[in-house]
Amino acid sequence: MTSRPSFAKDFPRTPEVDTLVDDFARGDYARVRAQAPRLEQSADDPEVKRAARKLVERTQPDPLALLLLGLAALALVVLAGFWIVNGKAPPGEAPAIQTR
């Protein structure tokens, strides 16, 4: 068993939640995203539901990181487009290609 993440210290100690927390700690986020909503729908305890919801939230990408990644991609496209449209060969004559 891996150590429990600090945000999960207050989660209820049920077998289902413990399994999801272990999956999260191992990095198996696909399993957490698949199993946690089922647990949230089937659980009667509101704390178990909250824990399942919190685990799914923790697997989502950071919105700021997505924004910065999008801005970097946009800057790359704009700069590449500018270079393609305005790029030209340096002044001077191109060297002759010698053939045998």
Band of pLDDT at residue 1, cut at 50, 70 and 90: low
* Overall pTM > 0.85: no
- Of all helices (H) and strands (E), which one includes residue 27? none
What is the rounded distance in angstroms from the CA atom of residue 42 to the CA atom of residue 72? 42
- Provide the sign of the torsion angle of the four alpha carbons 30, 5, 18, 42, taken in this order: negative
What is the rounded distance in angstroms from the CA atom of residue 27 to the CA atom of residue 36? 14
- Provide the sign of the torsion angle of the four alpha carbons 42, 47, 53, 56, taken in this order: negative
Q: Write out the two tokens for 7.
A: 């945000």
Least Cα distance to 59 among 99, 93, 31 occurs for 31
Q: What is the pLDDT of residues 47-100, one digit of tens each?
A: 999 999 999 999 999 999 999 999 999 999 999 999 999 987 777 776 777 777
What is the rounded distance in angstroms from the CA atom of residue 34 to the CA atom of residue 75? 35
